[in-house]
Amino acid sequence: MKTAYLFPGQGAQFVGMGKELYDSNSQCRDMFETANGIIGFRITDLMFGGTPDDLKQTKVTQPAIFLHSVILAASLGDTFRPAMAAGHSLGEFSALVAAGALSFEDGLRLVVARANAMQKCCERHPSTMAAVLKLDDKTVEDICAAVSAEGETVVPANYNTPGQLVISGTNEGVARACERLKAAGGRALPLAVGGAFHSPLMEPARLELAEAIGQCRFSAPVCPVYQNVCARPVTDPVEIQSNLNKQLTAPVRWTATVQNMLSDGAAAFIEVGPGTVLQGMVKRIAPDADARSAE
């Protein structure tokens, strides 16, 4: 039986995340303390006993979710035997570390660099995202293209499930697209995010992160990692690095990722990290799929 391991992205955080791992497992505790040293502040204090607002800060959210996911995977020991792995957006970094393509330390440094670069980009260029429901991909793509042709930027950012996409762009671009998407029979819900993730507006952050990626050593993972930009299984370290360099400005092709995993023989999907969002997405893509949590 082939088991696919999935790693969540931003938005899955909650107060208390990871505390049980810290309290009950010395290896996990050591990894958390190593992370505190690398980050330069005690992120564990915010994860275990902070406020929801503390955890919403990008510089906290992204490393917190990464740490919970990767350390939970490490705690599984010999039972963690992935035939394939994937992560949603931020979760791709967790997947690469858990699969052995990146060291824990390098993965954490990249996540910190990513969070800081994205935060700066958001502050310089106010922008937003919106969830779109009840429309097919092509309708959403065509409407985004039409608005972008008028001089505003708006693009599909996350292909989450059939009939559920997220669009990303300038405030005006997303607002115009939402009006037209509603007129086409869809629902469009603004998201409480700081910027236009997975869009061309993230190019300054992409360039900054690419520098950090270039300083890391990538290895062949223990299993194929299905990367966001292509939705295909990748094992070559050079290709992994190249795809990671494109991730911040390219869409997350999650529907295709899950479909390709199923085609390649995935019999079970296990979500490793906070929340159950990815399990829900898997069930919407493939209602009969076996999807559950590592916890």
Compute the Cα dihedral for 278, 235, 199, 187 and give only its sign. negative
Q: How far apart are CA 117 and CA 136, in angstroms?
A: 32
Quote the tokens at residue 200.
């061309």
DSSP readout, 119-183? HHHHHHS-EEEEEEESS-HHHHHHHHHHHHHTT--EEEEEEEETTEEEEEEEHHHHHHHHHHHHH
Q: What is the largest CA-CA distance in the chain?
A: 57
Query: Residues 89, 94, 127, 199: which is the catalytic one?
Result: 89
Is 198 among the catalytic positions?
yes
Q: 133 to each of 29, 75, 119, 210, 252, how far by Cα in Å?
A: 41, 37, 27, 33, 16
Q: How far apart are CA 32 and CA 70, in angstroms?
A: 10
Compute the Cα dihedral for 112, 94, 189, 143 and give only its sign. positive
Query: Residues 68, 127, 198, 199: which is the catalytic one?
Result: 198
Which amino acid does the sequence have at 250?
A
* Closest among 115, 106, 78 to 209, alpha carbons compared: 115
Token pair 């906290």 in the structure block, residue:
60
| 54-57: long-range contacts, CB 8 A cutoff, minimum separation 24 | 55/13, 55/14, 55/15, 56/13
Q: Which residues are catalytic?
A: 89, 198
